[in-house]
Structures are given as C-alpha cells and as structure tokens.
Amino acid sequence: MLLKFAPAVPEEKTYDYYAMENAPENVKQAAKQVCPSNEEDGVLVALERLLS
C-alpha cells in the first residue's frame, strides 16, 4: 500500500490519497479520506487508523 499526504490534487491515482483538513476544497474532494489538520497531527491520526 502506498500513501501520499500532499497539498495538491494528485496527477495519477496509483496510491491512496489523503488530504489534510486545512487543504483547499478541491484537494479534499479528490482525496480518499480527509484527515485532521496538520496542526492536529493529521498524518499521525491517519497512520494510527491504518495500522490499527
């Protein structure tokens, strides 16, 4: 499984794409899931969800 946390809409969908809550709306719409903001440790929250 490949994951990518990024501030922009992915050009290709060869991985699971997660957007941060503070990302632009078009980025969140393109994402598989929206995580909490970076100020709320969103990447850590997403990883914990995936690994549990």
Q: What is the pLDDT of residue 41?
A: 93
Q: What value, to the nearest 5°, has the Cα angle with vertex 21 and ends 49 and 43?
A: 40
Q: Are 11 and 19 in contact (CB under 8 A)?
A: no
pLDDT reported for residue 40 = 94
Q: Looking at this protein, which amino acid is placed at residue 19?
A: A
Task: Name the token pair of 31.
Answer: 């994402």
Tens digits of residue pLDDT in 36-47 = 998 999 889 988
Listed residue (13, 8, 51, 11) closest to 32, CA to CA: 13
Write out pLDDT tens, residues 1-50. Answer: 456 666 666 566 656 778 889 888 988 888 888 999 989 998 899 889 88
